[in-house]
Structure 1
């Protein structure tokens, strides 16, 4: 039987696994690029290697910054975070993917920390769903003491694991979590802890997610 302490440890472990999985590709590209430089003598090819190394380093840094705020304790000591910060992190995360376009509708200049974590993790789920590209529409605002967040991922093919949907709705047991479903489960727990909840609807060519955090 899992206790709250062991559940927290298991969740932290799974989130770390997700972070490592997402960093494996750009870090591996850095390693490959450095190995090529040791044997490559052609000036044009060496320049190409440097360009690839720069791109991989930038991608690694962008992902680390994203996960630091989405999973970790970043954001300073204040109760809110300027919306410009998560916006920049999400834009950077999809910056190298020309097939995905992000549209923003932000009605507040700052959001509570819990809401920012929910926003980032829902965006991560939306980006993962756009395997063939598409648009990611993101909206967030504070109204009457509650934070409302809405995301719509639309594209020619939506890849969405139903277990992620169960985790978002809180219907997935903590014992059944994986590194893929852990971020979604964390979102549901954050929303519930602030008296709110998460809704998700998957259509043929769109994934719609919404969260309300009344006490955030």
Structure 2
């Protein structure tokens, strides 16, 4: 019996969460084991716990129940240290700081920013800026390569697997919010339909 797309998406999302959280948890567990023997272990455990907390907050906001309306600075604070495994920073200074994005749009922008971070395997900056009545996600770094699954998902193709889960999540969030998504070599553009 074929797996239903929504079930596959949920399974892929859970696998992705486990993948993203196992590293900081392993670091924290190892550091706690060494706590009695090594003074640096406590600092390492605190750093791993902070990383784990930040990742959980982003995933909850982007793919869970959301966080409610958000401003650009609130989104940037949520993304701090999370994009590209900490090698990518978010820059939202081009967005109006007082503008509040509706909860469904905030989720959409968070997932788009996460995809922008994945497009920068060697680090860089993901800029969010006004474009065409919406928002453009503009990754910049030494290497820029959008995940192949993103173009496939935007073309309506079935995309599966934990490493690709953000692409179909983006498509579904855009549909739910009534926004269109387009992709070029330099930008992912999102705008209301």
TM-score by length of 1: 0.77
Report the Cα offset of residue 120 of structure 1.
0.8
Change (3 A) 1:180 1:8: same
Confirm whether residue 70 of structure 1 aligns to residue 62 of structure 2: yes
Count of residues in Structure 1 that have an aligned counterpart in Structure 2: 191
Gap runs ≥5 in structure 2: none
Q: 1:109 Cα deviation (Å)? A: 2.2
- RMSD over equivalenced CA pairs, Å: 2.6
Compared with structure 1, are the counterparts of its residues 160 and 82 closer, same or farther at alpha carbon in structure 2 (3 Å cutoff)? closer
Cα drift, residue 161 of structure 1: 3.0
Question: Which residues in structure 2 correspond to 1:123-138 (within 5 Å)?
Answer: 123-138=113-128
1:141 CA displacement: 8.2
Q: 1:170 to 1:195 in 2, by over 3 A?
A: farther
In 2, distance between residues paired with 1:96 and 1:162? 19
Match of 2:91 among 103, 110, 122: 103
113, 118, 141: which one aligns with 2:103: 113
User: What is the SS of the residue equivalent to 2:163?
Assistant: coil
Unmatched runs of 5 consecutive residues or more in structure 1: 41-45
Distance in 2 of aligned mates of 1:7 and 1:195: 20
User: In 1, Cα distance between the equivalents of 2:14 and 2:130?
Assistant: 27
C-alpha distance after superposition, 1:25-59 (max 9, x if no partner) = 11110111122225x2xxxxx22111111100000
Equivalent position SS for 1:136 = strand
Which is greater in Rg?
A: 1
How far apart in 2 are the matches of 1:170 and 1:188? Answer: 10
Counterpart CA distance in 1 for 2:65 and 2:128 is 23
Given candidates 121, 141, 160, the residue that maps to 2:146 is 160
Contact 1:164 1:180 in 2 (8 A): no
Q: How many Å apart are 1:2 and its aligned residue?
A: 6.0
Contact 1:170/1:188, CA 8 A, preserved across alignment: no
Query: Matches of 1:102 and 1:187 in 2, distance apart?
Result: 18
CA contact (8 A) 1:170 1:189 kept: no
1:117 positional shift = 1.2
Partner in structure 2 of residue 43 of structure 1: none
Specify whether residues 95 and 189 from structure 1 end up closer, same or farther in structure 2 by C-alpha distance, changes over 3 A only.
closer
Q: 1:82 to 1:55 in 2, by over 3 A?
A: same
Alignment of 1:3-18 (within 5 A): 6-18=4-16
1:213 to 2:179 alignment: no
Is contact 1:200–1:209 with CA below 8 Å preserved after alignment?
yes
| Alignment TM-score, normalising by the size of structure 2 | 0.86
> For 2:23 and 2:52, how far apart are their aligned partners in 1?
9
